[in-house]
Amino acid sequence: MTAPTLAQAIGPRSEGAIYENVDGAFRVLELVTDPGKARELLHRQAARFAVVVQDVRREDGQPFAVGSVWTTSDRLIKAGTR
């Protein structure tokens, strides 16, 4: 099994996109593809990217970074800008 390409791992999560999965629904505020900045945001040594999101179902939702790859359980609700 091969590792996904960066584009496959990020999926359609461009800035402004809204997607949902079992954890909630999220607006993409920033897509970070600089590995150094991604590692800093995620506090991990192996990060290739980070997606800064905000939960759209919570009024008090604070932005946070995720580094999970796009999977078949993720669903795009609204496309962002690329």
List, for residues 9-29, the tens digit of each pLDDT value: 999 999 999 999 999 999 999
| Tally of structural domains, the chain | 1
Average pLDDT over residues 45-64: 94
Instruction: Answer whether residue 36 is part of any domain.
Output: yes
Read off the pTM. Answer: 0.91
Instruction: Answer whether residue 55 is part of any domain.
Output: yes
Query: CB–CB of 51/28 below 8 Å?
Result: yes
Closest among 38, 6, 44, 30 to 81, alpha carbons compared: 30
pLDDT score recorded for residue 2? 75
Tell me the residue range of the domain where 60 lies. 10-73
Instruction: Answer whether residue 3 is part of any domain.
Output: no
Reduce the DSSP state of residue 55 to 3 states and report it. strand
Instruction: Answer whether residue 4 is part of any domain.
Output: no
For 14-24, b where at least 16 C-beta lie within 10 A, e where not — what string? eeebbbeeeee
Instruction: Answer whether residue 63 is part of any domain.
Output: yes
